[in-house]
Chain A
Amino acid sequence: MIGDPAFIAEIKRLKLSANYASADAVRAAVEQAMTTLDAAGLAEVRDIALNRYYH
């Protein structure tokens, strides 16, 4: 469907984009997002993202 020419045409008409990735690819990306940083790295990111620039 996402590769369906009619769907692609509709998406282009709406000035949107279609870029399919499989469930396995999504799962792998999620796994990478959740495991790349260790606990210290995550704590640093939380501090940067949620505290450092809000004052």
Chain B
Amino acid sequence: MPVQKRNRGLLIFLVLGALAAAPMPARAADETARAFFQGKQIRFYTMGSPGGGYDAYMRALIPHLERKLGAKLIPTNEPGAGGLVAMNRMLSAAPDGLTILLVGGETLVTAQLYESPGVNYDVRKLTWLARVSNEAKVALLGPKSPYHSVADLKRSDKPVIWAASGKIDGNADFGALLVHALDVRSKIIAGYRGTADMNLAIQRGEVDGRVVSEEAAALYGPSGGMRVLVTLSRKRAEQFPDSPAIFEAASIGAAQARLIDWRAGIADLGRVLLVTPGTPQDRTDLRRRWPR
């Protein structure tokens, strides 16, 4: 074959190859992804138990996702280890787009930062779809706790007692940073089995209180005679406008303020949706575009 003709053949081959490798326009890619999902089953994991907050969000999302994708979503609760059980289910799934996870972004980050056992991921390499919701953290005190203000906490000559399910439960570490910033004598008792146990301990006066999300405080705080002392943020919590933000309630040094701001930024990650790393780009992008 003449050299010129052979080169032209090579050029056509290279051009066709480049075209094939070029990214598809978004609309075409969406259509390809939609065609893939049509009639398929998608396993939807979440970290919460049935009836809990994560479960409620997952079940609220499902009919909308099914309508958008034409797929059947199978709700799957995998509570335990602060979301790490559900996380591992998602990570070990095939990267085909048929697995999705709703989990606390905050606990994923803190578990890695605190070198929690069982962390086998790097948060900087995960495939995020979106944040669904976020809430501020608040310090919730019980009806028998004698403290009614941050000044009361600071004046106490006895340790203030806080409840936690574990050291890395998404709340206890923020509580520790709070009392460090306020310079309040405190003790954290970890090992409660869950929300119900902690609430009982707070109502009985075995502990003074605990750090929880704004939403959780609104859900069971008022009915349990509990009150929000302070919001762990620069702004007051929407649902507790009469309770001060920590920076209104006390004068906090720059180094401690930096830690509170840093930790509040992690809390702000809220509830996030992820897919298995390595999922084809069009199937990931389609779901990144769902929310709008």
Contacts and interface: CB of A to CB of B under 8 A. Distances in A.
11 contacts: A11-B60, A16-B53, A20-B131, A22-B130, A23-B129, A29-B105, A29-B266, A33-B109, A50-B173, A53-B175, A53-B186
Q: How large is the interface on B (under 10, 10 to 19, 20 to 34, 35 or more residues)?
A: 35 or more
Contacts of A36: 262, 265
Contacts of B145: none
A2 B291 contact: yes
Given A1-B290, A17-B133, A53-B187, A7 B53 contact: no
B132 interface: yes
B176 interface: yes
Contacts of A19: 131-134, 270
Contacts of B135: 17
Given A33-B265, A52-B176, A26 B190 contact: no
B179 interface: yes
Counting chain B CB atoms within 10 Å of each CB, which of A10, A15, A23, A36 scores highest?
A: A23
Interface in B192-237: 215, 218-219
Range class of the A interface residue count: 35 or more
B57 A16 contact: yes
A10 to B, nearest CB: 5
Given A18-B133, A23-B288, A10 B265 contact: no
Name the residue in B132, B219, B270, B290 with the highest tally of chain A Cβ atoms < 10 Å from its Cβ. Answer: B132
B124 A34 contact: yes
B215 A23 contact: no
Contacts of B18: none
B64 A7 contact: yes
A48 B215 contact: no
Nearest to B263: A45
A8 B280 CA distance: 29
A45 B260 CA distance: 11
Nearest to A37: B262
Given A2-B132, A23-B288, A26-B131, A7 B124 contact: no
Interface string B150-176: 000000000000100001100011011
B177 A26 contact: no
A30 B61 contact: no
Nearest to B127: A23
Contact of B176 (A11, A14, A48): A48
Nearest to B174: A49
Contact of A54 (B188, B268, B269): B188
A46 B176 contact: no
A19 B64 CA distance: 16
Given A30-B126, A48-B259, 17 more contacts: A2-B130, A2-B290, A3-B291, A6-B64, A16-B56, A19-B132, A19-B133, A20-B131, A23-B288, A25-B131, A30-B109, A34-B109, A34-B123, A45-B113, A45-B177, A48-B176, A53-B179
A29 B126 CA distance: 13
A4 B173 CA distance: 35
A26 B128 contact: yes
B40 interface: no
A18 B123 CA distance: 23
B292 interface: yes
